[in-house]
Amino acid sequence: MRRRKAVAPGTSRQGVLRLPRSSEHFDAVIVGGGPAGSTAGYRLATEGARVLLLDRAVFPRDKPCGGGVTLRGARQLPFSLAPVVDQEVTAMDFRFRFGLAARHEYDQPIVLMTRRSRLDAYLLERAAEVGVEVREGVRVREVVPHPVSPEARGDGFRVRGAVVLGADGANGISAAALGGAPARWDVIAYEGNADRARYRSREFDGSMLFEIGIVPGGYGWIFPKADHANFGVGGWFHEGPQMKAHLTRLCAAHGVSIDDLAGLRGYRIPFRGPESPIAGRRLALIGDAAGLADPLSGDGMFEAFTSARLAAENTLAILGGRARDFSFYRRELRSEIGRHSAASWWAKLVLERWPRLGYGVAASRLGGKLFYQDLRGERTVHLPVTSGLAAVIEGAAQRQLLTGATPSSR
Ligand SMILES: Cc1cc2nc3c(=O)[nH]c(=O)nc-3n(C[C@H](O)[C@H](O)[C@H](O)COP(=O)(O)OP(=O)(O)OC[C@H]3O[C@@H](n4cnc5c(N)ncnc54)[C@H](O)[C@@H]3O)c2cc1C
């Protein structure tokens, strides 16, 4: 990967120091340059749109994440991720409460292990190369909807677009512009990295390990990277205070002390409810800003890439006068992600209520085959119903799982 120099706050990727001025107008303004924002920008700029992307961070920046890009996710992209892949995963290990163990081994990769500091910088670089104007170190404070010209505002600047895409992640501000914001359910994940020298067992190279039944609302994982392994746990948001204890147990069970983990940190993973707003007339949320992560796995990069693709298609239709608003995006997203998400909520319910059964399914030959096909994007596991009915069924699973829980505020 080409080395990227850090860019001073307010500096344009195209080299000239350009603080955002008032009254600038673009075809699309994208708030946030993670996997969702950068790939949406890439798609728009390659079709000739004038795109401004603002991110409060200066890249390369890290993001708490296991960094596993499923083949299904990678296949959404119009370019290869090869320059930033640490390991190709060809096996999955399932454990149940640090005891029972099963392994699925495959001939082909199912997940590409990356590090987010490298992956996100690489994706942003691809966007800048095709003409997206990237401004780093620029925090957007507010997105203001408008029927034809929504606006992003920050300290001392306003920029307008024919559309604004909110790609500012789980803690972003764009979602607030759509108002209302009913239930969004978050899990919390906590993770850190064990250096190879500290990580005694090498049997997990090329394999992702999942510990089932050890965290309410989630699981533990060990993901292999080039020179370290990523240890993490995720579960219900209210489990937050127990996360360090869960991670300590996971580490101990695999011969590592939590004190040996570098870069320990926690972060939210957001799940939308069926009624959570996702788009207004000229404003659409993509990726984590829309709460699109998979409820069973907590993965969100496939959803970030998919929503970016669909929102970019819809944006091009708006710019070309073929669409008036983001209805296409709403509809297509439900059709491409909604039925899978409903199946994931039900699998999560089973795992939560009957974790041993969940382990049994994951460990079985059928489970291994389904994971392979699903993670590679060869056959998506979904409910065989219309996307409208899937939303109703998804709501039912959420109610079962979340009774008594409080939705997160945005
Ligand atoms: C611990 C953990 C492990 C995970 N592991 C995996 C995994 O292995 N595989 C997987 O697929 N998914 C995983 N996920 C989920 C994945 O990280 C997210 O789904 C993914 O990052 C979503 O991408 P995004 O572009 O929507 O948001 P982000 O990656 O969060 O990017 C948002 C960007 O917006 C910027 N921003 C935020 N606010 C503003 C503002 N006000 N103004 C300007 N810029 C702003 C941020 O700086 C950031 O660059 C994990 C999540 C967690 C927490």
Cβ atoms within 10 Å, residue 147: 10
CA-closest residue to ligand 1 atom 13: 299
Beta strand 184-195 pairing with 261-272: antiparallel
CA–centroid distance, 301 to ligand 1, in Å, is 8
Please indicate whether residue 311, judged by its CB atom, sits closer than 6 Å to ligand 1: no
Cα–Cα distances in Å, from 329 out to 65, 109, 174, 396?
Answer: 26, 30, 17, 24
pLDDT of residue 2: 32
pLDDT of residue 6: 39
131-140, 198-207, 371-380: segment of lowest average pLDDT: 198-207
Please indicate whether residue 123, judged by its CB atom, sits closer than 6 Å to ligand 1: no
Please indicate whether residue 269, judged by its CB atom, sits closer than 6 Å to ligand 1: yes
- Using the predicted structure, report yes or no on whether residue 17 has a pLDDT greater than 90: no
pLDDT of residue 233: 98
Please indicate whether residue 232, judged by its CB atom, sits closer than 6 Å to ligand 1: yes
121: left (phi over 0), alpha (psi -120 to 50) or beta: alpha
> What is the pTM assigned to this prediction?
0.92
pLDDT of residue 16: 36
CA-closest residue to ligand 1 atom 30: 169
- Using the predicted structure, report yes or no on whether residue 5 has a pLDDT greater than 50: no
Nearest-atom index, ligand 1, CA of 55: 44
Phi/psi for 136 (5° steps) reads -105, 160
Which is higher by pLDDT, 256 or 7?
256
The pLDDT confidence band at residue 326, using thresholds 50, 70 and 90, is: very high
What does the pLDDT average to over 346-373? 93
What does the pLDDT average to over 250-254? 94
Q: How many whole angstroms separate alpha carbon 330 and alpha carbon 340?
A: 15
> What's the pLDDT tens digit per position in 132-174?
999 999 999 999 999 999 999 999 999 999 999 999 999 999 9
Q: Which residues contact 85 (CB under 8 A, 6 or more apart)?
A: 112, 113, 114
Please indicate whether residue 273, judged by its CB atom, sits closer than 6 Å to ligand 1: no
CA–centroid distance, 286 to ligand 1, in Å, is 11
Q: What percent of the chain has pLDDT over 70?
A: 90
Which is higher by pLDDT, 93 or 392?
93
pLDDT of residue 201: 56
Structure tokens at 332: 């297509």
pLDDT of residue 267: 94
Q: Exposed/middle/buried for 410, CB within 10 Å: 0-12, 13-18, 19+? A: buried
- Using the predicted structure, report yes or no on whether residue 270 has a pLDDT greater than 60: yes
> What's the pLDDT tens digit per position in 158-167?
999 999 999 9
Please indicate whether residue 140, judged by its CB atom, sits closer than 6 Å to ligand 1: yes
> What's the pLDDT tens digit per position in 274-324?
778 899 999 999 999 999 999 999 999 999 999 999 999 999 999 999 999
> What's the pLDDT tens digit per position in 21-44?
456 999 999 999 999 999 999 999
